[in-house]
Chains A and B, each alone.
Chain A
Amino acid sequence: MSNPAHPDLAASGRVYAGERSRLRDNISRFVSLASIVALLILFTAMNPNFLGAPNIRNLLTDISPILAMSCGVALVLLLGSIDLSMGSIASCSAVMLTLLFGPLGWWAFAAVFLFGVFAGLLNGVLHAKLKVPSFIATLSTQSIWQSAAYIISGGQPLTLVPGNWGYVNWVRAKSLGPLPLGPVPPLFLIALAVMIVYHIYQSRTGTGKTMMALGANERAARLIGLGIDQAKIVAFTLSGIGAAIAGVFFAVKLKSGIPTVGEQYNLIAIASAALGGVALTGGRGHILMVILGVGLITVIQNGMNVVAVDGFWQQIVFGLLVLAAIYMNSDRRRRDLVVK
């Protein structure tokens, strides 16, 4: 806060009332699991095919791009910051991938990955070094990458020419070499890998732990000797990579490079991370739990089609279910928690 105003008052407000073991933290995680289970039961009751193998495959495919983005933005949310540029980075990546298959072949994936690194790095440097609020920094880079997507694609939605389908047919593979995958699509395995890598990085490396620490108390993290700017830049870079991977998923899944494909996913990814228990004010949250938030939103969207929610009511039901899920997830026990 701008003025410390008699710390005695502030300090007395911050006393942690009573015993708050880490278990109570976990209860809120199981709540989002409980709400998913409740919805699964309900939707299956209404239409048994909901849990049929094809729809499980659909659910897991739909989860993949949002999961890649949500894990990225979850790291940024841990800092207490926000990343609004994921949508455009994903769109730009989808367009690039479609174009680069021709000249680079399999290396196109690497090139798009590097683009994700660069885009995330730019956000991190603008925020950490120039001290521009992350809301504005990422909102501005969103419009920059949106323009880039238009320019690269020449204003046309790009089709992946059949000649290059070879690079993307693995998406529909039903087995990983000898191992039959059943309903699990390859995209989901990659998304899971991203989640696990991001979780390990956040929980088991110095920079990763710094992200959580500085989100909880940046002043203390600085004095403890943690690398604040480095952690911020890496968090935004990983978020950029997550967005690029989501862009690759869109391109590979839709066999197209559409410059506006990722536009709507900024807020969905942030809502998913929040539903997964990541606090928007930073310092609280668990990467592995983000899949619960993403799963919940995907189950809602998919379920509404399976049980034929009337077209006019879909947006209303979606909003109400997100509100209910967040209500059950919010931490109402700590009286002194300031919720902005």
Chain B
Amino acid sequence: MRKLFSAFLLAAFAATMLTAAAGEKLTIAVSIRSMSSEYHMQYVAGAEAFLKTLPPGTAEIQVLPCESNDDKQINDIKALLASRGKNVILFVDPNNAPNVTAIAEACEDAEVYWVNAWNTPEGITPFLYEYWVHHQSCDGVRQGYDIAVNLFNSFKTPGKGKILVMEGMLANTANADRMKGLRQALAEYPGIEVLDDQAGDWDTKKALNITETWLARYNDIDGIWCASDGMALGIIQALKAKGLNGKVKATGVDGVMDAIDAVGAGDLVCTIANNGWMQGGYGVAYAYAAYTGKISTKTMPARERMFYTNGFLVNAETLPRYRKEFIENVPVYDYNNLEFPIARAMEVE
């Protein structure tokens, strides 16, 4: 009996860790890769900003970190849907594009409104599903292209030079899109020669190790194309160790605070602030609007169901404007104006 008692005791201990108890209150769920990803936590901050605009007590936020485990993401979402009945809305940044189908089917069965950010496989669109409110994304391919072009033009002789390529996690959708953009840029700039291509797995210390080894092998590098801010910060550490920061140009994506400072310091040519706050805030706003019936997926215009949002390319020139608009005075979004985040419609090929 002693064992059974201690089992129950232990379970009660687990209960103390819990916060919200279930109830009719609306749950705003945000399914992301991990709590330690600064960019993904911007979604959560955006959702909280939206929550403030609602009368207090109508909803609470629940974050579902999947620790880059695709199967866990779908399991967490299904567990949430099964336990909240109808009063839940969902913002998802899928760990990998192909999982969107399973998420869509789960939400369809549970009749729960949800929005998707960043990745979706070809042919899988909100138009196929009634409860999939919208798919928003920055244009990963164009971002890969933009940072590449920015990098090439920052060289002593713009458009000519030797670069190294630091990929993210192999076989990961975000990485695949940005690499596609880079390849487009390379096609347009024949003068650029790629010395080597390695994968840093979005991990700062791996990027640092790789860069250190690169610097031992190549000494006439003009720039390093890097697929994320996290890895870029590792690259900068390696460059600083050899006093090459600023001389060897580097790029990043995500607009993480430290990366913005690095652009200011001249160590980073450019990064793209994807403005997770706006993506998270408006994503949840759309889902909430559908949930309250303000909008209906049947009558929404196509451009509101699949659209690109603008990333803010932060480089030396645009930095002051970015600081003014986003850092000095944090933007206050009017979540009723659902048109605001739409940069341009996503053409469905």
Q: Which residues of A contact B (CB under 8 A)?
A: 31, 34-35, 38-39, 41-42, 46-47, 49-50, 52, 54-55, 57-58, 61-62, 65, 149-150, 153, 155-162, 172, 250, 253-261, 263-265, 301-303, 305-317, 320-321, 324, 328
Q: Is the pair B74, A253 in contact by a Cβ cutoff of 8 Å?
A: yes
Stretch of B11-19, B136-144, B156-164 with 4 or more beta carbons under 8 angstroms from chain A: B11-19
B173 within 8 A of A: yes
A258 close to B98 (CB less than 8 A): yes
Residues of B within 8 A of A39 (CB): 11, 14
B3 touching A260 by the CB < 8 A rule? Answer: no
Tell me whether A305 and B76 are in contact (CB under 8 A). yes
If over half of B's interface residues share one DSSP class (helix, strand or loop), that class is named, otherwise mixed; here it is helix
Which residue of chain A lies nearest to B67 when distances are taken between CB atoms in the complex?
A264
Do the beta carbons of A313 and B176 come within 8 Å of each other?
Answer: no
> Please, which residues of chain B bring their CB within 8 A of the CB of A55?
79, 82-83
**A-contacting 9-mer, from B58-66, B225-233, B282-290, B319-327:** B58-66
- On chain B, the residues within 8 Å of A328 by CB distance are 3, 6-7
Is the beta-carbon distance between A157 and B83 smaller than 8 angstroms?
Answer: no
Can you identify 9 A-B contacts, CB atoms within 8 angstroms?
A39-B14, A42-B12, A49-B82, A55-B79, A57-B82, A256-B97, A258-B99, A301-B76, A306-B82
B 156-191 to A, binary, CB cutoff 8 A, 1 in contact else 0: 000000000000011111001000000000000000
B171 contacts A308, C-beta separation under 8 Å: no
How many residues does chain B have at the interface if contact means C-beta atoms less than 8 Å apart?
58
Which residue of chain A lies nearest to B85 when distances are taken between CB atoms in the complex? Answer: A49
Q: How far is the CA of A305 from the CA of B66 in the complex (A)?
A: 11
**Chain B residue with minimal CB distance to A251?**
B98
Kindly list chain A residues whose C-beta atoms are within 8 Å of the C-beta of B97.
157, 159, 256
**B23's closest neighbor in chain A, by CB?**
A47
With beta carbons under 8 angstroms apart, the residue of B4, B71, B98 that contacts A34 is B4
Bound-state CA distance A296–B102 (Å) is 25
B176 touching A42, Cβ below 8 Å:
no
Determine if A320 and B75 form an interchain contact, defined as CB atoms under 8 angstroms apart: no
A258 in contact with B171 (CB, 8 Å): yes
Interchain CB contact under 8 A, B65 and A311: yes
Residues of A within 8 A of B123 (CB): 161-162
The chain B residue with its CB closest to the CB of A260 is B171
Q: Is B331 an interface residue (CB 8 A)?
A: no
**Cα distance A303–B11 in the bound complex, in angstroms:** 11
A-side interface mostly: helix
**A308: B residues at CB distance < 8 A:** 18-22, 27, 62
- A62, A150, A153, A260 pick with most chain B CB within 10 angstroms: A260
Query: Is the CB of B84 closer than 8 A to any CB of chain A?
Result: yes
Q: Is B240 an interface residue (CB 8 A)?
A: no
List the B side residues contacting A255 at CB < 8 Å: 98-99, 101-102
Of B64, B80, B83, B172, chain A has the most CB atoms within 10 Å of the CB of B83
Q: How far is the CA of A74 from the CA of B69 in the complex (A)?
A: 23
Verify B83–A306 contact, CB threshold 8 A.
Answer: yes
Given contacts A307-B22, A311-B64, A320-B14, contact A253 B170 (CB under 8 A): no
Most buried by B among A150, A157, A162, A265: A157
B206 in the interface (beta carbon within 8 A): no
CB of B7 within 8 A of CB of A31, answer yes
Q: How distant is the Cα of A110 from the Cα of B173 in the complex, in angstroms?
A: 28
Cα A317 to Cα B99 with chains together (Å): 27
